[in-house]
Amino acid sequence: MSLLEKTVGEILSDWANLIPEHEAYVYPEHGIRKTYQEFDRETDELAKAFIGMGIARGEHVAIWSDNKPQWLLSQFATGKMGAVLVTVNTNYQANELEYLLEQSDTSTLILDEGFKGTSYIDIIRSICPELKDSENGVVNCDKLPKLKRIILMTDREETGIYKWSEFLHHAEGIADADLAERQRTMTPDDVINIQYTSGTTGFPKGVMLTHRNVVNNGKIIGDFMKLTEDDRVCIPVPFFHCFGCVLGNMAAVTHGSTMVIVEQFDPLLVLEAVQEEKCTALHGVPTMFIAELNHSEFKKYDTSSLRTGIMAGSTCPIEVMKQVIHDMGAEEITICYGQTESSPVITQTQTDDPIEKRVSTVGKPHPYVEVKIIDPLTGEEVPIGIPGELCTRGYLVMKGYYNDLEATHEAIDEDGWLHTGDIAIMDMDGYIDITGRIKDVIIRGGENIYPREVEEFLYKHPAISDVQIVGVPDPKYGEELMAWIILKKDIALDEEAVRSFCRGNISYHKIPKYIKFTNAFPMTASGKIQKYKLRELSIEETLSQKI
């Protein structure tokens, strides 16, 4: 197999010609079913509407909603007419949205009415109060001078904002030949998407991804899952994140598979979609799979159609992986590892990898991907079995951070290597294990402790549903361990029982000094646990205990 030199739109149109009557996407909650031919035509019309509004090639179009059909269509329509889709985190509030729209030079914002009790319309009006006196398509916002137009995904009447039906009317004056001419000017190396890093470590940066990045990454991901037209991929992960729009949508569309889409994650909706749609693949971050497996009604649902899927987004607990294989029946589930800057997958397990490799590693590097593990202090490659920083190079590396050359040069060195900031170990067979972030390493009394090792051990306790380990300052040892634990439903456990479980099984210096039981971890909208927030909470907790 060689790398594909095609745009997002070309990939969709190819499948529409090959399998026109095959289902492309399904929204079980709304009874929506569309074939590849219908999907192709819908996105052509939407692409023409964008052109009809005056959106130029390379112009930035931001989209702010959960996994609505309009989001999916906009992903491929912008890919067909050359705009750059700027994806907005569904959890954003006013300050975050204002920062993103300004930093990205967005000219057009597509938004839903709201999300989980937050009114998106109220937020954009608070940022741009001038909307109340604006005509549709003539936005003059002092705070956002580049913003020209706002489109609502519904037909609710809002001053200064296009209704969805009004927006679609802009396609009427654009001929198929006009769209074809626009497509002829596009190349696979054009930036198609700007995704903002999820903020697990600090201020978001805009990652510029090209057609070549996302088309080939999606294709190889699907190859590793052995996807075909016969597969039905359940996608409950958010589109605004690479997990949804690349590991989900692009992996499916590059293989002619059917996307079964859940708008907002809910464990019962996911289980129902898998059962009713006979899904063969299921995607999710570990916390999603944990919620499905531990739901009181899990055993009522038939998940036997599952064959594969992806668990990714954060460290995948071995015990949870085993449950997905044995209790859900997804015997060919794969693990992916990467980051937005690598579009996003660097390594992946394969469906026929030995079970021990699939539960204890993140697999091997993808084809056309170079990987090396270096000493972060010297930059020299480390031997097999020695931890170091994972670096990668190849087609998958982003074009850079938008409007941030300094951060780009910090992330990508002069030889083209992307420095991930993740600690990895490669074994003799070439499989890679990610043991944490460089900044997450806990140094207690001169001993390096990797949180992942302690977390994996504690997952073995029958009462523990989820656990996170962080380091907190200590005057004697420099740092001590703190465990944040979520218990399984209706099961009690105290701190001393946790420590007793550890004694004699892991080294004394790895036993958490502080233990806190909680109902949830601070997380990003894409399901990543924000360890920096846990660290902040941990410091507050331990200080209060010392007073």
Which CATH number covers residue 147?
Answer: 3.40.50.12780
**Is 405 part of a structural domain of the chain?**
no
Question: Which of residues 151, 172, 196 is at a domain's end?
Answer: 196
Q: Strands of 406-524 (E only): list them.
A: 418-426, 432-437, 442-444, 447-449, 464-474, 478-487, 514-517
Compute CA distances 289 → 250, 281, 348, whole Å: 22, 13, 18
DSSP-assigned letter for residue 247: I
**Is 152 part of a structural domain of the chain?**
yes
CA torsion sign for 347, 351, 284, 38 is: positive
Cα–Cα distance measured from residue 515 to residue 484, given in angstroms and rounded to the nearest whole number: 6
**Is 480 part of a structural domain of the chain?**
yes
CA torsion sign for 179, 396, 347, 89 is: negative
Cα–Cα distance measured from residue 162 to residue 159, given in angstroms and rounded to the nearest whole number: 8
Question: Beta strand pairing status for 60-64 and 84-87?
Answer: parallel
Cα–Cα distance measured from residue 143 to residue 166, given in angstroms and rounded to the nearest whole number: 26
Tokens linked to 251:
């992996």
Entry field: residues in the chain = 547
Question: Which of residues 174, 196, 218 is at a domain's end?
Answer: 196
**Is 134 part of a structural domain of the chain?**
yes
Range of the domain at 39: 33-196
**Is 256 part of a structural domain of the chain?**
no
DSSP-assigned letter for residue 257: P
pTM of the model: 0.85
Cα–Cα distance measured from residue 311 to residue 318, given in angstroms and rounded to the nearest whole number: 11
**Is 347 part of a structural domain of the chain?**
no
Phi, psi of 59 (to 5 degrees): -75, 150
**Is 225 part of a structural domain of the chain?**
no
Q: pLDDT tens track of the chain, all 547 residues? A: 799 999 999 999 999 999 999 999 999 999 999 999 999 999 999 999 999 999 999 999 999 999 999 999 999 999 999 999 999 989 888 988 999 999 999 999 999 999 999 999 999 999 999 999 998 878 999 999 999 999 999 999 999 999 999 999 999 999 999 999 999 999 999 999 999 985 544 568 999 999 999 999 999 999 999 999 999 999 999 999 999 999 999 999 999 999 999 999 999 999 999 999 999 999 998 889 999 999 999 999 999 999 999 998 776 778 888 999 999 999 999 999 999 999 999 999 999 998 889 888 999 999 999 999 999 889 999 999 999 999 999 999 999 999 999 999 999 999 999 999 999 999 999 999 988 777 787 878 767 787 888 898 899 999 999 999 999 988 778 789 999 999 998 899 999 999 999 998 888 889 999 999 999 999 877 777 888 889 889 988 887 665 4
CATH of the domain at 466: 3.30.300.30
What DSSP string runs through 284-351?
E-HHHHHHHHTSTTGGGS--TT--EEEE-SS---HHHHHHIIIII--TT-EEEEE-GGGSSEEEE--T
Tokens linked to 17:
């010609």
Compute CA distances 421 → 178, 393, 480, 487, whole Å: 45, 14, 22, 31
**Is 228 part of a structural domain of the chain?**
no
Question: Which of residues 153, 172, 196 is at a domain's end?
Answer: 196
DSSP-assigned letter for residue 161: B
DSSP-assigned letter for residue 380: P
Domain count for the chain, please give it: 2
